[in-house]
A and B are shown apart, each in its own frame.
Chain A
Amino acid sequence: SPLCPQWPYCRKRCSYCSFNTYVVPAADEAAVRACLAREARTLLRLGRVQSVTSVFFGGGTPSLASPGTIAAVLEAVAGAAHLPADAEVTLEANPSSAGTPRLACFRAAGVNRLSIGVQSLDDAELRLLGREHTAAEARAAVEVARGLFPGRTSIDLLFGLPGQSRGAWARGLEAALGLCDDHVSLYQLTLERGTALAAQVWGGALPAPPQDLLADMYQTARAALVAAGFRHYEVSNFARKGALSAHNLSYWRAEQYIGVGPGAHGRFVPWGEGGCRREARVQTLEPNAWMREVQRQGHGTRRWVVLSLLEQLEEVLALGLRTDEGVTRERWGRFSPDLSLEAVFGAPGEARALQQQGWLVLDGSGLRCTREGLAVLDSLLPGLLCQLQHR
């Protein structure tokens, strides 16, 4: 199973971010470290996990944690389950906390893949996003990372910023292509309720990007990255030379995973408690409360909900269709041995209409979106879910 420890702290909140992050003057790192390690051990045991296939340090800003903390968590993982030497261990890093010595220490701690939050290579855009770093710092960080993690450095980019023009995005993209390694995550900016940026756009202080412009930007980027040899393997993710993120791919394949840390989500069967069905689990959001719970009972799981077979299939569908491989027959069959993909989506109805209209393909390997269908997946899913519910 993949494991995803969360480091909940940031130095500053970005204007667009609605994640469960906390800006504190000084976190009690030793305590957080101990709790992350302890919760990882507890949950791995609870899930009777034999082998941890990947680890992804997310947040927050996990590159703010000391390499020792990363090492401690990895040690705990390796102590509770098998952690293969080649398991993908990714750390999300901010350009402002990614100097050479620091990144080298992370590597020494066991990190073997870096995901850098570049977001933009334009200083004005970075300021709008409330980022701490400049474009030059971002470039430098990527250069350093590529040196230390060759072929295993990913960059995050945002498009669809208020006021961003088609031309500005094309230039930014070109610059990013000149800088990047073999993995790029390309996110359309989502305005989230409660963020400073959304308030400015909804309040009329900043322009909302037009729908058609966003679609154009997405198509432009897809074309440019594919031309540069990248495989568009998920809605927002591109990789070349096989540098797909094994960890994230396992989410989209609806495999089970274990979330550790404040606000982390997990999906696994708690065999250790006598459970036999997959549960959706959420850890306590607030770091101090979470720590108290971990110290008291070994973990800070706040909610666990047993997922029905239908709910699991809904997730298999909604996540799998985001990838270029789609929902394979083999994977579907693992969740649903009795009701085949063909039986659900090959029957006359919405799904078949969507196939005829060229949004979906159902063939020998499984069900997946066409190139055109992927961009409008959110319009396809409600109909598919309806059809699934009625089987």
Chain B
Amino acid sequence: MALAGSTAMWWARLWCRCPAAAPLCLPPWLPPWLPAGPVACERPYSSRGEGKLDMSTYPVESIRNFSIIAHVDHGKSTLADRLLEITGTIAKTGRNKQVLDKLQVERERGITVKAQSASLFYSHEGVNYLLNLIDTPGHVDFSYEVSRSLSACQGVILVVDANEDIQAQTVANFYLAFEAQLAIIPVINKIDLKNADPERVEKQIEKLFDIPVDECVRISAKQGTNVEKVLQKVIEKIPPPHCNTADPLKALVFDSTFDHYRGVIANIALFGGEIQKGYKIVSAHTKKKYEVNEVGILTPNEQPTHKLYAGQVGYLIAGMKEVTEAQIGDTLFLYKQPVEPLPGFKSAKPMVFAGMYPVDQTEYNNLKSALERLTLNDSSVTVHRDSSLALGAGWRLGFLGLLHMEVFNQRLEQEYNMSVILTVPTVPYKAILSSAKLIKEYGKAEITIISPAQFPDKLSVSEYLEPTVLGTIVTPHEYIGKIIALCQDRRAVQKDMLYIDERRVMLKYLFPLNEIVVDFYDALKSLSSGYASFDYEDAGYQAADLIKMDILLNGNPVEELATIIHNDKAYATGKFLCERLKDAIPRQLFEIAIQAAIGKKIIARETLKAYRKNVVAKCYGGDITRRMKLLKRQAEGKKLMRKIGNVEVPRDAFIRVLKRQPDK
């Protein structure tokens, strides 16, 4: 599931974790008053000393705030490395290669889970500029964060691999930037490779994004070719932020991290005013008041400054104890000087839910503390305690998307050595209630349904709604037939189809989210031999013919296996679940009917025949000890069985049915 863009995992964390290396990497600052080239280096300490930077020498006109966006492996992190080297932010050692993707999961998947930022100092035509490179998380699962990060920018560098063509994520990224009305600098990367065809990619960009061919910058980030030109374009094409230091303070929180010693560190972009230690500030979202302890810029480690001024980007520490206090998209203002909050704030909205249980219940507390530690830095995961008769105590977790879920799970395994049972993911459905009684009960007419147990009966509902996404698929044209068939099978509606050039096609489909949460991406990759790319964005809710399907064992419903599905999929899903259960439940003394039912209507059935003979043939003196051990183990196991009616279901049967199939 590598839907994502390769990105630098930023320096700040790397440096924090290896302080011994820090002196080597200390940025040789380019003093703003020196019209020197990029290699000049002397720290711009202020006259007041204390080792703090004076940011007042960078007026709004000299500031450029931008992001790099790219499809996975198109060279985003390498370009970022070079920009940092050229501006003297990190030393040129030849070793600045993938060193920034710190987490194992990020290296393996080529994604950024947490965005970071860096301020670069660069002199061009006699003017000293402050270039703030604001990283974005590398996947649409995090599109809300991406859009917040982008809202702190005035422009983006859109990187496309000259050997790989435009991909689905390139398209998605472009539109995010386009809709945010940002300046876009197209960069064709990896031109040094043998199969590079920058001309073709430029034509695709022209056709798809309406950007003239001559605006593209051809570079090799790896070799440093033309990277300087990219910086010049950033200065020429990206406008400075529109804001004024004389205005009241207005700061956007576009990211936050948690530090065990200092609490929450919020990354902020100033849309007005200035901020410094001792200021009293208020969160527009929580209305909580804080006193600023420290402000600074990210270089990319935290570098304290006296102040931050309108247009600048940096960090703030103000005694916030939890990341939820510095929610992404929130606006900070001065106490008693409220401002209109920046638009677009919303709390993280989970789109995919899954049950998480310890493999062994004795691991519950360890898993609990691992979850707590991991969510400290990821406020977008929602955690609700849950318990299942079959799987024991656990949680129902909400994730921004599939990749987010997988990354979270992988981090649990890799960073906390926790092995968990993750159930098949589901999506949040909605129901518009028609029953006055229920409306009164819920206090509203539209309810969100996370678990099948909450599914209201059709009679008291005027309409069910399901979440949808707009999916973008970019594929070589020979796979179109198969891909269209796959999309139709997933109840998707075609919205657009465009030949990017004579070989590549872009398809846009409106998908019900639940149709892609389990295995869509794998299916797409396998039928296109890995060539098709996929990306999606939230597209709201649509009416859907939803039903609740029960699984019955000899007529008794199995609570854990009830599912909400679309009517059209009920038969196939019911059949599949019955078949899997048949393989997972051992034969018993009586026949077991395994049925899928909608209300009273049975739509699928499997029959597990009764045991007719299982008595061991030989049992004499010598065997008894071994035999008794086995019987006693079975007797113990019997106590752990989940009894549904008179049917005994071993716990691992549920696991086998409910668990996601990792490589199906």
Contacts and interface: CB of A to CB of B under 8 A. Distances in A.
A215 interface: yes
Interface residues of A, number: 47
Contact of A383 (B612, B620, B638): B638
B638 A319 contact: no
Interface string B627-651: 1100110110111000000000000
A335 to B, nearest CB: 15
Contacts of B611: 211, 376, 379
Nearest to B622: A265
B616 A378 contact: yes
B615 A378 contact: yes
A236 B617 contact: yes
A376 B589 contact: yes
Interface in A349-367: 357, 359
B638 to A, nearest CB: 5
Interface string B599-638: 0000000000101111111111110110110011011011
A357 B612 CA distance: 14
Nearest to B646: A353
Contacts of B612: 211-212, 215, 219, 375-376
Contacts of B637: 382
A296 to B, nearest CB: 24
A359 B612 CA distance: 12
A211 B621 contact: no
Contacts of A357: 589-590
B619 A359 contact: no
A311 B616 contact: no
A387 to B, nearest CB: 9
- Greatest chain B CB density within 10 A among A19, A219, A375, A378 is at A378
A197 B130 CA distance: 78
B289 interface: no
B627 to A, nearest CB: 7
A263 B622 contact: yes
Interface in A152-207: 187-190
Contacts of B624: 251, 265, 267, 280, 315, 318-319
Contacts, number: 105
Nearest to A378: B614
Nearest to B627: A318
Interface string A360-391: 00000000000000111111111101100100
A62 interface: no
B62 interface: no
A142 interface: no
Chain B interface size, under 10 / 10 to 19 / 20 to 34 / 35 or more:
20 to 34
Given A376-B614, A377-B615, A386-B638, A257 B589 contact: no
A119 B272 CA distance: 95
B207 interface: no
B623 to A, nearest CB: 8
Nearest to B590: A357
Given A265-B625, A382-B631, A212 B616 contact: no
B451 interface: no
A2 to B, nearest CB: 9
B625 A379 contact: no
Given A267-B621, A386-B639, A374 B628 contact: no
Interface string A240-260: 000000001001100001010
Nearest to A212: B612
Given A385-B631, A386-B635, A265 B621 contact: yes
B616 A264 contact: no
Contacts of B639: 386
A230 interface: no
A146 interface: no
Contacts of B589: 357, 359, 376, 379-380
Contacts of A9: none
Contacts of A248: 620
A265 B619 CA distance: 13
A376 B631 contact: no
B628 A311 contact: yes
B613 A280 contact: no
Contact of A374 (B609, B615, B618, B620): B615
Interface string A254-283: 000101000111110000000000001010
A322 interface: yes
B620 A251 contact: yes
A257 B619 contact: no
Contact of A315 (B587, B614, B620, B628): B628
A389 B639 CA distance: 12
Contacts of B638: 382-383, 386
B588 interface: yes
Contacts of B625: 265, 280, 282
A167 B625 CA distance: 36
B628 A314 contact: yes
A389 B635 contact: yes
A380 B634 CA distance: 11
A259 B639 CA distance: 35
Contacts of A212: 609, 612
A189 B616 CA distance: 10
A257 B621 CA distance: 8
B618 A236 contact: yes
Contacts of A322: 615, 619
A266 B634 contact: no
A211 B611 CA distance: 8
A4 interface: yes
A235 interface: yes
Given A314-B632, A319-B619, A379 B627 contact: no
A379 B588 contact: yes
Given A211-B587, A282-B625, A375 B613 contact: yes
A218 interface: yes
Contacts of B620: 248, 251
A381 B617 contact: no
Contacts of B614: 375-379
A328 B171 CA distance: 81
Contacts of A87: none
A352 to B, nearest CB: 13
Nearest to A4: B621
Nearest to A159: B617
Given A382-B634, A389-B635, A235 B587 contact: no
B621 A215 contact: no
Contacts of B617: 187-190, 235-236
Contact of B618 (A187, A314, A375, A383): A187
A280 B612 CA distance: 32
Contact of A385 (B587, B613, B616, B635): B635
Interface string A213-227: 011001100000000
A318 B631 contact: yes
Contacts of B587: 211
A212 B587 CA distance: 12
Interface string A333-348: 0000000000000000
A190 B616 contact: yes
A359 B646 CA distance: 15
A336 B85 CA distance: 86
B619 A235 contact: yes
A218 B611 CA distance: 13
Nearest to B620: A251
Interface string B336-365: 000000000000000000000000000000
Contacts of B618: 187, 190, 236
A212 B612 CA distance: 7
| Pairs of residues from A and B, 6 with the lowest C-beta to C-beta distance, nearest first | A215-B612, A382-B634, A215-B613, A385-B635, A377-B615, A187-B617
11 contacts: A212-B609, A235-B615, A251-B621, A314-B631, A319-B624, A375-B614, A375-B615, A381-B631, A381-B635, A382-B634, A383-B635
Interface of B: 587-590, 609, 611-622, 624-625, 627-628, 631-632, 634-635, 637-639
Given A190-B618, A211-B613, A318-B628, 8 more contacts: A251-B621, A251-B624, A265-B622, A267-B621, A280-B625, A315-B624, A378-B614, A385-B631
